Structure 1
Amino acid sequence: MLKERFAMQVAVHLFLVKDSQVLLLRRYNTGYEDGNYSVPAGHLDGNEEVKTAAIREAKEECGIDIDPASLEMVGVMHRLSTDERIDFFVATTEWRGEIINAEPNKCDELVWVDMDKLPPNVIPYVRQALLNFRRKEWFDSFGWERAIRVE
């Protein structure tokens, strides 16, 4: 009998960068981290390359188009939340179109903030990923210190 392989959620997060600022979206009406800031992000749909997912999320959430060549892979995080996850982080300073709140049913504010002066209610792992980006640290584990090991 074959054992079922472990599977985990995989997401991509997009850092839209303008000078020393990053675009944050305040989550609303989603049931996850509502009232807190994140960046454009979403799960990979399966059979979808990471940069393709970032481009899709940029269009869905911010109404902009991004050339894949302008995306830079800037980080990976192995994260323990309510389950185990892998998060990819990509950044760009180039896009076409005007940034708008294209999902007002899931986001109630878009704001440019200085990466050195993030608001206190940025989702903690996103805050850590932005700090890693500023430090040029490519990989991190997050949330594992809370894990309770049962032997």
Structure 2
Amino acid sequence: MKSFFISFVDTMNTMSTIFYGSKVSSFSSQHFEKQSRHLWSKDCGFHSPSRLSMGFMQKPPKMTTSFSRPFFGGGLQKRGVHVLSPDLSTQSFALEILAASDDEYNGVIIDPEILPSSSNAFASALRTSLSIWKLKGKKGVWLKILSELVNLVPIAIQEGFEYHHAEAGYVMLTYWIPDDEQRTLPSSPCHQIGIGAFVINDQRQVLVVKEKCPCRCSNVWKLPTGYLNKSEDIFSGAIREVKEETGVDTVFLEMIAFRHAHRLAFEQSDLMFVCMLKPLSTEITIDDKELQAAKWLDLDEFVEQPFYVEDEMTKRVIDICVVASENHYCNGFVAHQLTSKLDDGKLSYLYHGSQRHF
């Protein structure tokens, strides 16, 4: 009995290797591609159940063997071998694949909402899917794994997936299928985007803040700054940061300049957009979690601080802001809301200078 079970398991492992592993040579590539979404039935015939279109089976198939009772002098008599799917009414061996859609670049985007929660089921379906997608000539594969299924990440990494990026709630992995083509998947997000707000009133006073953080400018009166939120427009971020830090209401006038630096926080590149805002109120209420203080400071006193005199980049930014405030610099970028087919017809903002030619 023991020897029969070993033989039976070896047979099933061989079948599993053919379908789930790399040994597809037992079938021609053309035949395997045609039959890849079918079930292998107990009578060795293929049939195509509609439930496979849902992506994968929730549980791996269960194998059972039935025997007659032992008889004297003859060991075991085998009555039959069946492979049962989770639906006990259908005795079949399912070829599991992950639910996915094609992208615009002959790649694949796996549906993150219906991944199998079982590690074994996921590993099996992932291997099968990669084999099928390779036969179909697919290239890049995008796999988003939600935080509640984080146990699947090591399995994907073991199969050759690489980390792309992560945010609260998920991690994104990628896989490049072709062995003979250069990987052309876009790299992970590499820039942080921040704003600086130059707010000056009619008395030539600039709205300035002192931050609590132990940074190089912690004891310097500086412009309100901050990072944009997700899906936030540049000018909206400038208005929001000023309001949150100082309580002053403003309106956007123009984008004056931007700075591009590399290998800053978390080794990321950094874009800082300097916006000129017009104050609509004067009363200051500081955010004491971030700031030591905030006030309206005379322009001359502001620009004469040693920090700005000694720092070439910051001095140039302030000089441009001063000139702009005196109406001598009128080529700043203004936000214009337009639609584009590149953005599926959605409204977005284009920043540009003078409108004399439009």
Partner amino acid, structure 1, of 2:306: P
CA gap 1:81/1:5 in 2 versus in 1, 3 angstroms: closer
Match of 1:39 in 2: 223
Match of 2:319 in 1: 131
Match of 1:76 in 2: 258
For residues 2-151 of structure 1, the aligned pairs below 5 Å read 2-18=185-201, 19-28=203-212, 30-33=213-216, 34-67=218-251, 70-80=252-262, 82=264, 83-96=268-281, 98-100=283-285, 102-111=286-295, 112-115=297-300, 117-122=303-308, 124=311, 125-135=313-323, 136=329
How far did residue 43 of structure 1 move? Answer: 0.2
How far did residue 97 of structure 1 move? Answer: 5.1
Distance 1:131 1:81 in 2: 26
Give the conservation status (yes or no) of the 8 Å contact 1:76–1:138: no
How far did residue 22 of structure 1 move? Answer: 1.6
Match of 1:142 in 2: none
Partner amino acid, structure 1, of 2:322: R
Query: How many residues are aligned here?
Result: 135
SS at match of 1:71: strand
> Larger % of helix: which?
2
Tell me how large the CA RMSD over aligned residues is. 2.8
Percent identity between the aligned chains? Answer: 21
How far did residue 63 of structure 1 move? Answer: 0.6
Distance 2:232 2:298 in 1: 30
Distance 1:127 1:104 in 2: 27
Give the conservation status (yes or no) of the 8 Å contact 1:38–1:126: no
Give the conservation status (yes or no) of the 8 Å contact 2:198–2:321: no
CA gap 1:80/1:138 in 2 versus in 1, 3 angstroms: farther
Give the conservation status (yes or no) of the 8 Å contact 2:249–2:279: no
- TM-score, normalising length: structure 1: 0.72
Partner amino acid, structure 2, of 1:79: A
Give the conservation status (yes or no) of the 8 Å contact 1:132–1:138: no
SS at match of 2:284: coil
Which string of whole-angstrom CA distances, capped at 9 and with x for unpartnered residues, describes residues 19-38 of structure 1?
A: 4332221122x233322232
Distance 1:7 1:27 in 2: 26
Partner amino acid, structure 2, of 1:8: H
Partner amino acid, structure 1, of 2:256: V
Partner amino acid, structure 2, of 1:27: E
How far did residue 118 of structure 1 move? Answer: 2.9
Which protein is bigger by CA-based radius of gyration? 2
